[in-house]
């Protein structure tokens, strides 16, 4: 009997449908980025702050929260060698009163300055804008009109009959003592006003009310100097413009750009007034020598690199540290302001601090010794690269998932915000220094003419008796100021910011920006005064 061979029964194979695999791939592709996104924006996973030279730049003193106390460090640094006897701020406060710009000073500021707190009521300076504000409180059009008149008259000689109201304010007996205190303050060599900041690590809202209040006294002294010059009182005009010049130099000792820029404006006002005075007067040799000596004894000008090295760097670093503490609504506002796709959360603060310091280190190097053209070119290249990185779609998308990329974008945006104006400020610094050299050279030429009865044919004739060296053109490296005799007078000038010799034509003309001094024969140098 044949038995059938048993056959192996094969179970049917289980079929896996392709969409299961597809679903798994999609879950991975979608889930991983979502998890990465939430991981990267969670503050719980953000790296802790490291206090070091590379990040916070200083390691002490620290606030009770363990953050760098930038205000205390700056106060210690800026007050070295300052005493109540050599600090111009002590006398300036006595002249301006306890509420500069309307804000009362904390008691600790007086203790730090070594002076007693000021009384609320006293003989304090009242500026022209303040007096006009009181007089025309309910007449805004008149207030605006008189403010514009005062602004225009600060730029040229004028006479009493042109603006009797301004004369009345300037000659108010109540201002005599405060203005004398201001003059004495300007003769002091140091300027230290304690940094008032709360919290101490953040300088973005540092109180600069006192420094800004000095604009009023500076503008009024310039206005009075032009009044003196309009009436031929040359010596009185010189005293006022020298007070303005010294105040400008003193303000530049402050640790921040805002007071330095106020100082630049004051110094430019005084220097241009001095150039105008030189075109309108011919002094005797003794007077010209005395003025030249006073010009040389001014406090040193600001070093922009020094301001960037400390105060402005600390200001920026404080803002980076503040990003960890701001509210969600403030973060969202900044995100929209910076035009970022990703939220400003869970940032790598240490990376941002290092990048900020590297940027400022390079700016300090460029503003300290390199030619202006190199600063312009290198900063422009960096600015273009930063803008491209910030607005590149792939970078923006990567910032949603990656904390490092997001931190890089934010710190570049902050660096652009804080330093975009540095090349223009450097140009302004060079312009102020160039004007200073022009006046110094003009005074030396005035001494030469008073002694010899004529101007020299070449500037080399002033060296070394009247000038230590032939003055250089700061806008044309390796070149000296251009000097040319014209009849009985001369023209002396720098090529200015554009680096082109425009034959001494001033910046008021389009595409021409020579900075200069033109002395004409005496019969031609009387400038017309505008009638009232």
Q: For tokens 């990329």, what's the residue?
A: 405
What tokens were used for 414?
Answer: 């902050």
pLDDT at residue 300, rounded to an integer: 86
pLDDT score of 346: 77
Least confident of 211-215, 378-382, 400-404, 520-524: 520-524
β pairing state of 489-494 and 515-519: antiparallel
Higher pLDDT, 151 or 198: 151
Of 219, 124, 117, 94, nearest to 166 (Cα)? 219
Ranges 9-18, 49-58, 347-356: which has the least confidence: 9-18
Q: What is the pLDDT of residue 13?
A: 56
For 57, left (φ over 0), alpha (ψ -120 to 50), or beta? left
Over residues 143-161, the mean pLDDT reads 95
Mean predicted confidence (pLDDT) in 387-410: 88
How high is the pLDDT of residue 531?
28
What does each C-alpha distance from 424 to 60, 217, 366, 390, 430 come to in angstroms?
33, 26, 13, 23, 10
- What pLDDT is attached to residue 532? 27
What angle do helix axes 349-368 and 422-452 make, rounded to 10 degrees?
Answer: 20
Q: Is the pLDDT of residue 510 over 50?
A: no
* pLDDT at position 472 over 70: yes
Structure confidence at residue 145 (pLDDT): 95
pLDDT digits (tens, 9 = 90+) for 221-279: 999 999 999 999 999 999 999 999 999 999 999 989 999 999 999 999 999 999 999 98
pLDDT of residue 103: 77
Sign of the alpha-carbon dihedral angle for 369, 371, 376, 381: negative
Predicted local distance difference test score (pLDDT) of residue 11: 55
Decide: 490 and 484 in contact? Cβ < 8 Å. yes
Stretch 307-336: mean pLDDT, rounded?
A: 88
Model confidence band, residue 34 (pLDDT cutoffs 50, 70, 90): low
**Cα–Cα distance between 313 and 320 in angstroms, integer?**
11
Nearest-angstrom CA–CA distance, 30 and 19: 16
Residue 195 pLDDT > 90, yes or no? yes
Query: In angstroms, how far is CA 6 from the centroid of its own chain?
Result: 100
Q: Is the pLDDT of residue 197 over 90?
A: no
In this predicted structure, the answer to whether residue 522 has a pLDDT above a threshold of 80 is no
pLDDT at residue 513, rounded to an integer: 67
Could you identify the residue written with the tokens 């900020």? 356
Cβ proximity of 269 and 154 under 8 Å: yes
* Nearest-angstrom CA–CA distance, 276 and 526: 11
How are strands ordered across the β-sheet holding 515-519? 482-486, 489-494, 515-519
Cα–Cα distance, 334 to 338 (Å, whole number): 6
Instruction: Determine the pLDDT at residue 23.
Output: 67
What average pLDDT is seen over the chain?
Answer: 87
Backbone angles phi, psi at 122, to 5 degrees: 180, 180
Q: Which of 157-171, 201-215, 302-316 has the lowest mean pLDDT?
A: 201-215
pLDDT in tens, 44-79: 556 889 999 999 999 999 999 899 999 999 999 999
Q: How far apart are CA 101 and CA 196, in angstroms?
A: 15
* Mean pLDDT value of segment 117-123: 91
Asked if 428 and 479 count as a contact pair (C-beta separation under 8 A), the reply is: no
Query: Which residue did the predictor score with more confidence, 291 or 501?
Result: 291
Q: How far is CA 232 from the centre of its chain?
A: 35
Predicted confidence (pLDDT) per residue in 294-311, tens digit: 999 998 888 899 999 999
- How does pLDDT run across 439-453, given as a tens digit for each residue? 999 999 999 999 999
346's torsion region: left (phi>0), alpha (psi -120 to 50) or beta?
left
Calculate Rg over the CA atoms of the chain.
Answer: 32
Asked whether the beta carbons of 242 and 207 are under 8 A apart, the reply is no
Percent of the chain with pLDDT over 70: 87
pLDDT at 459 over 50: yes
Q: Which one, of 263, 268, 241, lies nearest residue 252 by Cα?
A: 263
Confidence (pTM) = 0.87
């Amino acid at each position: 009997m044949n038995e059938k061979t048993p056959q192996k029964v094969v179970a049917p194979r289980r079929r896996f449908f392709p969409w299961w695999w597809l679903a798994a791939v999609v879950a991975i592709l979608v889930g991983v980025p979502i998890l990465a996104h939430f991981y990267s924006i969670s503050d719980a996973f953000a790296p802790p702050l490291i206090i070091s030279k590379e990040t916070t730049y200083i390691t002490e003193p620290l606030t009770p929260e363990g953050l760098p106390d930038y205000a205390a460090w700056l106060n210690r640094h800026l007050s070295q060698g300052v005493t109540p006897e050599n600090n111009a701020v002590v006398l300036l406060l006595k002249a301006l009163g306890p509420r500069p710009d309307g804000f009362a000073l904390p008691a600790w500021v007086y203790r730090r300055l070594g002076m007693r707190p000021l009384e609320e009521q006293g003989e304090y300076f009242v500026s022209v804008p303040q007096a006009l504000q009181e007089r025309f409180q309910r007449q805004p059009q008149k207030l605006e009109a008189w403010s514009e008149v005062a602004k225009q008259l600060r730029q040229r000689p004028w006479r009493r009959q042109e603006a009797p109201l301004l004369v009345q304010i300037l000659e108010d007996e109540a201002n005599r003592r405060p203005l004398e205190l201001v003059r004495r303050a300007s003769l002091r060599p140091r300027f230290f006003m304690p940094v008032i900041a709360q919290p101490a690590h953040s300088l973005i809202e540092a109180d600069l009310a006192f420094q800004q209040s000095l604009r009023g006294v500076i503008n009024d002294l310039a206005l009075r100097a032009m009044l003196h010059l309009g009436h031929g009182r040359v010596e009185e005009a010189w005293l006022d413009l020298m007070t303005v010049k010294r105040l400008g130099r003193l303000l530049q000792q402050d640790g921040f750009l805002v007071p330095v820029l106020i100082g630049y404006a004051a110094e430019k006002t005084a220097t241009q007034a001095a150039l105008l005075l030189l075109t309108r007067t011919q002094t005797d040799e003794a007077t010209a020598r005395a003025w030249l000596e006073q010009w040389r004894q001014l406090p040193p000008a600001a070093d922009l690199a020094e301001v960037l090295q400390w105060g402005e760097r600390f200001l920026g670093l404080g803002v980076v540290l503040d990003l960890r503490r701001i509210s969600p609504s403030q973060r969202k506002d900044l995100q929209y302001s910076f035009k970022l796709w990703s939220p400003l959360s869970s940032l790598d603060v240490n990376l941002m601090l290092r990048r900020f310091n590297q940027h400022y280190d390079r700016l300090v190097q460029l503003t300290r010794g390199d030619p202006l053209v190199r600063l312009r070119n290198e900063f422009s290249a960096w600015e273009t690269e930063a803008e491209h990185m910030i607005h590149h779609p792939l970078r923006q998308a990567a910032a949603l998932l990656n904390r490092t990329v997001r931190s890089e974008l934010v710190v570049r945006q902050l660096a652009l915000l804080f330093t975009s104006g540095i090349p223009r400020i450097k140009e302004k610094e060079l312009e102020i220094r160039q004007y200073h050299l022009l006046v110094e050279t003009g005074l030396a030429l005035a001494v030469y003419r008073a002694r010899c009865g004529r101007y020299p044919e070449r500037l080399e004739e002033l060296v070394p008796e009247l000038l230590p060296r032939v003055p250089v053109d700061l806008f044309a490296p390796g070149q000296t100021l251009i000097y040319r005799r014209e009849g009985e007078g001369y023209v002396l000038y720098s090529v200015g910011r554009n680096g082109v010799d425009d034959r001494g034509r001033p910046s008021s003309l389009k595409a021409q920006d020579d900075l200069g001094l033109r002395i004409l024969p005496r019969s031609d140098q009387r400038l017309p005064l505008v009638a009232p």
